[in-house]
Amino acid sequence: MPVTDPSPVPPAGGLPARARALAVELHAGQRRKGSGVTYVDGHLDPVAELVRDSGGSEAQVAAAYLHDAAEDAGGRATLDRIASEVDPHVAELVAALSDSLVDTTSDITKVPWLDRKPAYIAKLATEPDEVLEVSVADKLQNAGSFLADYRDAGPETWARFNESRAEYQLWYYEALAQVFRARLPEHPLTHRLTVVLAEVRALVRADVPDIDERVDAAFADMARRGA
């Protein structure tokens, strides 16, 4: 991934501190879906804590703070900022964690969700463990938040997402969990994600009795798309 040459004198502060400061700037005004909580407080801080508590390096914690920055706040230009203001390796991790690098702050739009997500899963499966260890923390935090939201709002929760069909959201997270189980079978967050997703599926099943068949059909559909 090409990035601009970093400054010969690194900015002050450790990697996580620099990364969080940049994340606060880049995600200013963003809120966690379904709440008034800032995106940093509601998602990035918890993901960074999961990475730190599971033994992640400073670079991985920094990438946790910035894992959505390029995807949602500037694309490749933001990767260049991360390389120069935080660390080039952190920029590489963020690029690997991103499912799109188009600049959504301009008039460019991302590839549609149903086309983007299978490609991201296939790419993630080939990334180093260092990347997957951040990704599993991200997906666990998302799944945990979703579980809490569903308990509160039920099926209305789906309307908060670009893809509002339950079976496709469940396909996405369960396909990711398969990658983590294959690549990080002993990682503590892999098991936690599997448990949370089983709880989500059980809650959804109470409202949608045929959800298991629907998820199976979604897996088959996405396999055809990727063929």
The pLDDT of residue 11 is: 45
Over range 175-194, report the average pLDDT: 97
Q: Please state the rounded mean pLDDT for residues 33-45.
A: 85
Beta carbons within 10 angstroms of residue 38's beta carbon: 17
* Distance in angstroms (rounded) separating the CA atoms of residues 95 and 98: 5
**36: pLDDT strictly greater than 50:** yes
Contact in structure between 124 and 179 (CB atoms under 8 Å)? yes
- The whole-number average pLDDT for the span 89-98 is 96
Do 115 and 225 form a contact (C-beta atoms < 8 A)? yes
Per-residue model confidence (pLDDT) at position 5: 37
pLDDT higher than threshold 70 for residue 116:
yes
Question: How would you class 200 by CB atoms within 10 Å of its CB: exposed for 0-12, middle for 13-18, buried for 19 or more?
Answer: buried
The whole-number pLDDT of residue 26 equals 93
Instruction: List the beta bridge partners of residue 31.
Output: 38
- Weakest-pLDDT range from 25-39, 60-74, 199-213: 25-39
CA dist 210 and 91 (Å) reads 42
Mean pLDDT of 53-81: 92
Residues of the chain with pLDDT > 70, as a percent, come to: 90
Give the pLDDT mean for 201-206: 96
Mean pLDDT of the chain, nearest integer: 89
Q: Looking at residue 4, what is its pLDDT?
A: 37
| CA 227/CA 197 separation, integer angstroms | 26
pLDDT value at residue 217: 96
Token pair 């993901």: residue: 47
Measure the CA–CA gap between 169 and 21, rounded to whole angstroms.
Answer: 31
pTM: 0.89
Q: For the chain, which residues make up each domain, given as ranges?
A: 15-97, 113-226
CA–CA separation, 136 vs 209, rounded Å?
28
Per-residue confidence (pLDDT) for residue 34, from 0 to 100: 64
**What mean pLDDT do residues 170-180 have?**
97
Note the CATH architecture for domain 15-97: Orthogonal Bundle (1.10)
Least confident of 81-95, 98-112, 139-153: 98-112
What is the maximum span of the chain, computed from C-alpha positions, in angstroms?
59
